[in-house]
Amino acid sequence: MGQRQLQLKSWVELVLSGIEGDQAELISLDAVSGDASFRRYFRAYTQKGHYIAVDAPPEKENSEPFIRIARCWFEQGVRVPEVIRSDLEQGFMLLEDFGDRQLLAELGGQREPYAQALDTLLKIQQLPAKDLPPYDEPVLRREMDLFSDWFLDRLLQTEKHPVKQQLESVFKELVTSAQSQPQVCVHRDYHSRNLMPLADRGLGVIDFQDALIGPITYDLVSLLRDSYVDWPDSLVYSWVEEYRASLANVGFEMPEAEAFRKSFDLMGMQRQLKVVGIFSRLLLRDGKSGYLKDIPRTFAYLLNAAKRYPEFDSFAKQLESLLPLMKSHPELGVYMESVAESVEVGA
């Protein structure tokens, strides 16, 4: 057990003595799967129960937004983990334990889990968002730049590929679309690995600390164009239309179905540019190779969306010209065959 984990263990023991009394005993502190950040998660077992202990080094992770948003959303009835104790100076938190079940494992072609996820999203998008930062143009562009910086330049090592000449005009179109949408509370990573079916049949929501005020389709894209699972387009667009109707029913002024679907697709392109870049960075900077296998699916979403709209014809052709480089890449190439049809044929 390293020094940092020893410090966390001592802190948890001190906190538990205040929660469970002087007789509280920490039986074990076991590592659980983490996320794509510098945070580490441990399950703290005692004779009376179990908790999640979080190690978020303050020099690398700012936990204040997580705590602030968690408390706000918890009070508003969204099933986020209760923050039991926190120490921002040390970077430690003790949270309610939602268990290990992810929505991803519950899907199996079933529609019902997504219905609950969409209902929860509708609740989040109606939350007051005045205290959140804006998902403005600098943020949107900074995210899309990850595609060029980490995927093109560093992973594929193709700094002068013609696709780069298309990026500025594409970025402009995507930013305009994002900013023209109703601006609401955006979780920003609302997908099947961050949604947890609970024992009481509720749906837990985690990894929300980067929430912003932003486009109303962003979280919908995260859920329905999930980098870890894909669905037939016919089903995706039926969910999109059902959700548009739900938004209208609770008072949002919504466009017609075709316009909303286009907003959804273009928001997806923005997110997919970002995510392909992030997955590349996780490999090259952080040594996390587990996300590499999800790049082909995410790239396919991007390419297929670009093919749907004439204004992106040139961009789609340049994206397609990247496929041979992706297939020949020594690490990425081994994952291309499994999604080759969706990447090359498109929607």
Q: What distance lies between CA 108 and its chain's CA centroid?
A: 20
More confident position, 22 or 122:
122
More confident position, 114 or 251:
251
Q: What's the pLDDT score for residue 109?
A: 53
Confidence band, pLDDT 50/70/90 cuts, at residue 337: confident
**Per-residue pLDDT tens for 57-89?**
999 988 998 999 999 999 999 999 999 999 999
Q: What's the pLDDT score for residue 106?
A: 80
Q: Which two three-digit tokens encode residue 75?
A: 């009070």
Q: What's the pLDDT score for residue 347?
A: 43
**C-alpha to C-alpha distance for 267 and 270, rounded to whole angstroms:** 5
**C-alpha to C-alpha distance for 90 and 99, rounded to whole angstroms:** 25
Beta bridge partners of 46: 26
**C-alpha to C-alpha distance for 340 and 327, rounded to whole angstroms:** 9
**Per-residue pLDDT tens for 296-320?**
999 999 999 999 999 999 999 999 9
**C-alpha to C-alpha distance for 66 and 304, rounded to whole angstroms:** 34
Q: What's the pLDDT score for residue 345?
A: 45
Q: Are 51 and 44 in contact (CB under 8 A)?
A: yes
**C-alpha to C-alpha distance for 226 and 224, rounded to whole angstroms:** 5
More confident position, 341 or 119:
119
Mean pLDDT of 36-62: 87
Q: What's the pLDDT score for residue 128?
A: 85
Res 344 pLDDT > 50: no
Q: Which of 91-95, 109-113, 126-130, 138-142 has the lowest mean pLDDT?
A: 109-113
Res 27 pLDDT > 70: yes
Q: Are 218 and 271 in contact (CB under 8 A)?
A: yes
Confidence band, pLDDT 50/70/90 cuts, at residue 111: low
Location of structure tokens 């960075």: 281
**Per-residue pLDDT tens for 242-290?**
999 999 999 999 999 999 999 999 999 999 999 999 999 999 999 999 9
More confident position, 344 or 169:
169
Confidence band, pLDDT 50/70/90 cuts, at residue 14: confident
Q: Which two three-digit tokens encode residue 95?
A: 């949270």
* Most distant CA atoms of the chain, gap in Å: 68
Res 338 pLDDT > 90: no
Q: What's the pLDDT score for residue 25?
A: 76
Q: Which of 110-119, 216-225, 279-288, 318-327 has the lowest mean pLDDT?
A: 110-119
**C-alpha to C-alpha distance for 32 and 342, rounded to whole angstroms:** 33
Q: Tell me the Ramachandran region of residue 188: left when phi exceeds 0, alpha when psi lies from -120 to 50, beta otherwise.
A: left
**C-alpha to C-alpha distance for 72 and 74, rounded to whole angstroms:** 5
Q: What's the pLDDT score for residue 341?
A: 60
Q: Which two three-digit tokens encode residue 192?
A: 């099947």
Q: Are 193 and 208 in contact (CB under 8 A)?
A: no
More confident position, 318 or 346:
318
Mean pLDDT of 197-212: 93
Mean pLDDT of 183-207: 94
